[in-house]
C-alpha cells in the first residue's frame, strides 16, 4: 500500500468519524434520553480497532482521544494515551481472540464504555462529587444508551472498511 493510499484510507475514516462527532457533540446533547447522552467516540474507536487490528486501532484511538480532548472542555490529556492503548488492546483482542465482526465489536465497545464509566464514577467518588447511587444512576443509562448506538457506528465503519479498509487499496 502506497503512502497516498494510506492517506486516502485514513482520510475516509476521518470523514466517517465527522458525523459521529457532530451527533455526539451537537445533536444528541439537545435530546437527552433519561437525562443522559451517549458517548459515540469510544464506540467509533472500538469499531475501527476491531476491523483494522492493533496498530491501526492504536492510531485511530489516539486520533479519537485527541479529538475528544480538544473538542470537549475539562480534559487533561489522558484520553489521548488512554484511547490509543484501548484501541491497541481492542485491535489485538479482535485480531487474535475474537472475530472481527459485530459481536466482537459489541463486546469490545461494552468493555471500553464500562471502563470509561467506571473511571468517571471513581473520579466522582474520590472528589466527593456525589454518592455512589447518584453516580450509578447516570453511568448505567449512559453505558446502555451508548451501547445501543454500536450497531449504527459499526455499520458505518464496516461500510468504510469494505471500501478502503485493510489492504483494499493496495
Write down all domains in the chain, each with its CATH number in brackets: 3-164 (1.10.1760)
User: For 155-164, how does the pLDDT look when each residue is reduced to its tens digit (9 = 90+)?
Assistant: 999 999 988 8
User: For 111-164, how does the pLDDT look when each residue is reduced to its tens digit (9 = 90+)?
Assistant: 999 999 999 999 999 999 889 999 999 999 999 999 999 999 999 999 999 888
Q: What is the DSSP letter of 131?
A: -
What residues does 36 pair with on adjacent strands? 33
- In angstroms, the CA 126 to CA 91 distance is 31
Q: How many CB atoms lie within 10 A of CB 60?
A: 27
Q: What are phi and psi of 168, to 5 degrees?
A: -60, -35
Amino acid at each position: 500500500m502506497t503512502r497516498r493510499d494510506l492517506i486516502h484510507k485514513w482520510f475516509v475514516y476521518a470523514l466517517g468519524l465527522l458525523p459521529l462527532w457532530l451527533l455526539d457533540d451537537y445533536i444528541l446533547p439537545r435530546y437527552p434520553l433519561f437525562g443522559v447522552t451517549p458517548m459515540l467516540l469510544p464506540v467509533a474507536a472500538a469499531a475501527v480497532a476491531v476491523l483494522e487490528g492493533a496498530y491501526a486501532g492504536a492510531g485511530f484511538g489516539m486520533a479519537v482521544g485527541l479529538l475528544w480532548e480538544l473538542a470537549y472542555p475539562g480534559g487533561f490529556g489522558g484520553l489521548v494515551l488512554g484511547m490509543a492503548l484501548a484501541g491497541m488492546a481492542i485491535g489485538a483482542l479482535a485480531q487474535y481472540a475474537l472475530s472481527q465482526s459485530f459481536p466482537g465489536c459489541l463486546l469490545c465497545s461494552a468493555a471500553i464504555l464500562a471502563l470509561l464509566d467506571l473511571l468517571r464514577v471513581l473520579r466522582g467518588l474520590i472528589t466527593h462529587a456525589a454518592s455512589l447511587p447518584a453516580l450509578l444512576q447516570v453511568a448505567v443509562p449512559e453505558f446502555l444508551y451508548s451501547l445501543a448506538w454500536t450497531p449504527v457506528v459499526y455499520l458505518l465503519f464496516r461500510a468504510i472498511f469494505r471500501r478502503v479498509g485493510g489492504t483494499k487499496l493496495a
